[in-house]
């Protein structure tokens, strides 16, 4: 009987006053974390796809264009801010 009461008291104890007021932590999307980086303006940047292999048949200008950084825009930025809640400034 006594051990039951001590367990109830221990679970009801709250050592931090602010922990009850905070929302649960949000999880970042792992696929988005691997592909996108946030920048100071609030947008995101990523590498252009299609640059890693099968480059023999591509023209030099196309390979140069694929080597450039791509930035997010418009509604894409809003979606990325939801997927990476702690990555955006």
Reply yes or no on whether the pLDDT at 21 is more than 80. no
Q: Is residue 10 part of a domain?
A: no
pTM listed for this prediction: 0.69
DSSP 87: T
Residue 87 pLDDT level (bands cut at 50, 70, 90): confident
Cβ partners under 8 Å of residue 85, min gap 6: 26, 28
Q: What percent of the chain has pLDDT over 90?
A: 70
Q: Is residue 14 part of a domain?
A: no
Task: Output the pLDDT for position 10.
Answer: 55
- The three-class DSSP label of residue 10 is helix
Q: Is residue 87 part of a domain?
A: yes
In this prediction, residues 20-42 reach a mean pLDDT of 90
User: For the chain, what's the residue count?
Assistant: 89
CATH code (residue 71): 4.10.410.60
DSSP 73: -
Task: Give the model confidence (pLDDT) of 38-69 as tens digits.
Answer: 999 999 999 999 999 999 999 999 999 999 99
Place of tokens 């970042």: 28
Q: What does R_g of the chain's alpha carbons equal in angstroms? A: 24
Reply yes or no on whether the pLDDT at 76 is more than 90. yes
Q: Which domain holds residue 43?
A: 29-50+58-89
Q: Is residue 77 part of a domain?
A: yes
């Amino acid at each position: 009987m006594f051990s039951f009461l001590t367990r109830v008291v221990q679970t009801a104890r709250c050592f931090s006053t602010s922990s009850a007021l905070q929302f649960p932590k949000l999880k970042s999307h792992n696929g988005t974390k691997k592909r996108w980086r946030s920048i100071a303006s609030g947008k995101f940047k990523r590498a252009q796809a299609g640059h890693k292999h099968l480059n023999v048949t591509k023209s030099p200008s196309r390979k140069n264009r694929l080597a450039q950084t791509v930035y997010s825009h418009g509604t894409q930025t809003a979606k990325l801010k939801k997927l990476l809640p702690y990555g955006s400034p």
